[in-house]
Structure 1
Amino acid sequence: MRHRSVADLMTPNAVVVQPGTPLREITRLLDEYGITAVPVIDEDERPVGVVSEADLLRRQTGKLGPSTAEAIMTRPAVVACPEWSAVRAARTMEEKKIKRLPVVDESGRLIGVISRRDLVELFLRRDRAIQEEILEDVLMRTLGVAPSAVTVDVSDGTVVLSGTLERKSLVPIAVRLCDSVDGVVEVVDRLTFAQDDSATQQTVTEPARGARYLPSEGERA
């Protein structure tokens, strides 16, 4: 199953300004396009900062100074990559307390912007839909875990896993796969295990989504 990335959700034709753009013009752009912030790009189209409504308000209530984007922008710009998952973008916004992320390519050039508004659809997924995907796709189909072995509770995107897996090495795999499901904000691990295989298994290979984990002969016995 393919999960939506920043590239799928971003607005490609981003509204931008240059360091020398006057504040009056920035205010007009925010109002015209109904946005709360705008990236500031240099001559190579690389983001050097962001001017937000909060930056404009601070300038109005503070001491007067140069009335350009460069004078008041927040720098450096916190950016996202197009291959990021929607969950990673949302977590970055939350950690940095920002509402929009410029998206850059491998050379650092701006290719779009992703905002909280772009992520709303994903994070409004009903908890029931997330629970069903984890039970059917992650646990049953991918890991081959019986539905009765693990309980999955979901509330506002927070997933709580409880129950018993056959082997200790499967616990972190299950947690990582659940964390990758669209709409999941956090995974709380309350899993236990029947067999501690950490002493005999040096490397654990995580199965690809859609590929089923096959238990060993000892586990099937």
Structure 2
Amino acid sequence: MKHQRVRDLMSDAVVRVQRGTPFKEIAHLLLEYDITAVPVVDEENRPVGVVSEADLLQKMWGGEPDGSAEHAEWSRASAGKADATDAAGLMTSPPLCALESWSVVDAARVMARHRIKRLLVVDGDGRLAGVVSRSDLLRVFLRTDRAIRTEIIEEALVKALGLAPSSVQVDVAHGHVVLSGRLPAHVSAPLLEEHCRSVDGVVAVEFRPAGEADAEGPAAVGS
């Protein structure tokens, strides 16, 4: 299946700073644009780091350890941030970035693995092109049931599995896909379900063999 690409969902209006941007200017940008972090780029617009609210707040408490071994180790790793006066000293580097060509699945996997809410997006030359967030990725679940059904029939049934469009009945409601019919010997129900789950916007997939579907039909009509 052809998942949507990061370039289709990202925001290309990105507030950015350079290494020499002063502390107070960064704080002003975060407040003015109601954002929690800002990318740091070099002279060629390539991301070199990220400055977050947490980085700025170290100025308040000075990065002093609280006595725990875990906190002391973290404090040593970011000891210079409490004394930093510009983006170069405050930023976390290198930044995690996604390519414009990544699928939404690729981006979601990286966000989950690193427990982050957004990714910087770069083009093929490594220049900052945008930013994609968790909420951006969730937009794939706003696809209409009709669009999901059409893609399942055209991409999963016909193109991927070589089935006739009418060989399997496809019903979609609120992203829940119900498949019913008789499958040829070379196509198993788990394989069909797997292809359908890979369609963007699908929430759940259920296959009902022809006999089961026929048995449930009268009950549904009489209810």
TM-score under structure 2 length normalisation: 0.62
Find the aligned partners of 1:160 and 1:91 in 2 and give their Cα distance.
26
Could you say what secondary structure the match of 1:25 adopts? helix
Does the Cα contact within 8 Å between 1:87 and 1:182 map onto a contact in 2? no
- What do residues 179-200 of structure 1 show as CA deviations (whole Å, max 9, x unaligned)? 5422358x99x9xxxxxxxxxx
Point out where structure 1 has 5 or more consecutive residues left out of the alignment: 191-221
Deviation at 1:38, TM superposition (A): 1.2
Trace 1:16-95 onto structure 2 (pairs within 5 A): 16-63=16-63, 64-95=82-113
Does the Cα contact within 8 Å between 1:41 and 1:47 map onto a contact in 2? yes
Aligned counterpart for 2:139 among listed residues 107, 121, 133 = 121
Does the Cα contact within 8 Å between 1:138 and 1:174 map onto a contact in 2? no
TM-score under structure 1 length normalisation: 0.63
Deviation at 1:72, TM superposition (A): 2.4
Does the Cα contact within 8 Å between 2:148 and 2:201 map onto a contact in 1? no
Could you say what secondary structure the match of 1:103 adopts? strand
Count of residues in correspondence between the two structures = 184
Deviation at 1:93, TM superposition (A): 1.7
- What do residues 90-120 of structure 1 show as CA deviations (whole Å, max 9, x unaligned)? 2222221222211112221112222223223
Could you say what secondary structure the match of 1:44 adopts? coil
Q: Which has the larger radius of gyration?
A: 2
Does the Cα contact within 8 Å between 1:87 and 1:184 map onto a contact in 2? no
What's the counterpart of residue 185 of structure 2? 166
Point out where structure 2 has 5 or more consecutive residues left out of the alignment: 64-81, 208-223
CA change 1:136–1:120 in 2 (3 A) is same
Could you say what secondary structure the match of 2:28 adopts? helix
- Counting helix residues as a fraction of each chain, which structure ranks higher? 2
Aligned counterpart for 1:107 among listed residues 114, 125, 132 = 125
* 2:83 partner amino acid: G
Find the aligned partners of 1:49 and 1:160 in 2 and give their Cα distance.
46
CA change 1:120–1:55 in 2 (3 A) is farther
Identity of aligned residues (%): 46
Could you say what secondary structure the match of 1:118 adopts? helix
CA RMSD across the alignment? 3.9
